[in-house]
Amino acid sequence: MEIDKQKIETIYIPEYNRATLCISSQIGCSLGCKFCFTGKQGFNRNLYTFEIISQILNVMKFIKIKKLHFITNIVIMGMGEPLLNFKNIVNSILIMLNKYCFNFSKRKITLSTVGIIPAINNLKKYLDIKLALSLHASNNKIRNLIIPLNIKYNIKNILKSIKNYIYKSKANKNGVTIEYIMLKNVNDKEKYAHQLAYILRNLLCKINLIPFNKFSYSKYLCSSNNKIHKFYNILLNYGFIVTIRKNRGIDINAACGQLSGKVFNRIKF
């Protein structure tokens, strides 16, 4: 989708009996997470409420023309950090939830954040929706390296803020989603799986392991399948609900972490 000659990316993910729409909140991103192509683009600006909502409307038009599965879930995990565009994201989600507009269930909308503590604390005044935390490390030393914002908002304080948010949340009654990208020889050692289990021991959550998707100029590689499954089994043995995210859209650079506003062989609205 092109906005004032700048591109944002919206990903339609169809499955057998459902379809998820991954939408963007900003043009680019200012956080510079080392494993994310959007961060390499830099930050252009926040998307306005109508621009966020237009992503849904445009895909709905396409779905109608192509007779595809209707949208059942919205994930705000595209380009940008949603909680750094707080007002427009809150207004957009309120429109998504409104019964006279899209009428989505709050359990069908997930907002992903790297952990903007003041915004998380403020969010509960306005919305009760599902949260996903882009944690990606089991200790501050590693997280500082791959997510520079962690120097300002560390793991302990982020988890405390998340725990406070979901305390009375009905949307998160089954737990917040913890996203953990698997980076070869960075955060994939077995000891880090044990560390992760320890720091999450008092948080109601499920863990989503994400194989790293390679992009241009990245120094990182994806962990081997063997290491990912060892990591998975360790967490499973601690009693966590654990999933391994399917890699989809790699062939068109549309997989998790590959969004950069450079659109090749994609649908243009």
**Exposed, middle or buried: residue 38 (CB in 10 Å: 0-12, 13-18, 19+)?**
buried
Cβ count within 10 A of residue 160 = 14
Cβ count within 10 A of residue 55 = 26
Please report, in tens digits, the pLDDT of each residue of the chain (269 residues total).
Answer: 666 566 788 999 998 889 999 999 999 999 999 999 887 888 999 999 999 999 999 999 999 998 899 999 999 999 999 999 999 999 999 999 999 999 999 999 999 999 999 999 999 999 999 999 999 999 999 999 999 999 999 999 999 999 999 999 999 999 999 999 999 999 999 999 999 999 999 999 999 999 998 877 788 999 999 999 999 999 999 999 999 988 654 443 444 544 444 543 333 33
Does the predicted model carry a pTM greater than 0.85? yes
* Predicted local distance difference test score (pLDDT) of residue 216: 73
Q: Specify the length of the chain in residues.
A: 269
- 9 noted as active-site residue: yes
pLDDT in tens, 49-97: 999 999 999 999 999 998 899 999 999 999 999 999 999 999 999 999 9
Alpha-carbon distance 175 to 169, whole Å?
Answer: 9
In the set 33, 205, 222, 256, the catalytic residue is 256
Query: Residues with Cβ < 8 Å from 152, sequence gap 6 or more?
Result: none
In the set 9, 51, 81, 179, the catalytic residue is 9
Alpha-carbon distance 247 to 171, whole Å?
Answer: 26
Q: Residue 145: helix, strand or coil by DSSP? A: helix
Q: Where are the beta strands (DSSP E) in the chain?
A: 2-3, 6-7, 11-14, 19-22, 26-28, 43-46, 73-76, 109-113, 130-134, 176-182, 205-211, 241-244
- 81 noted as active-site residue: no
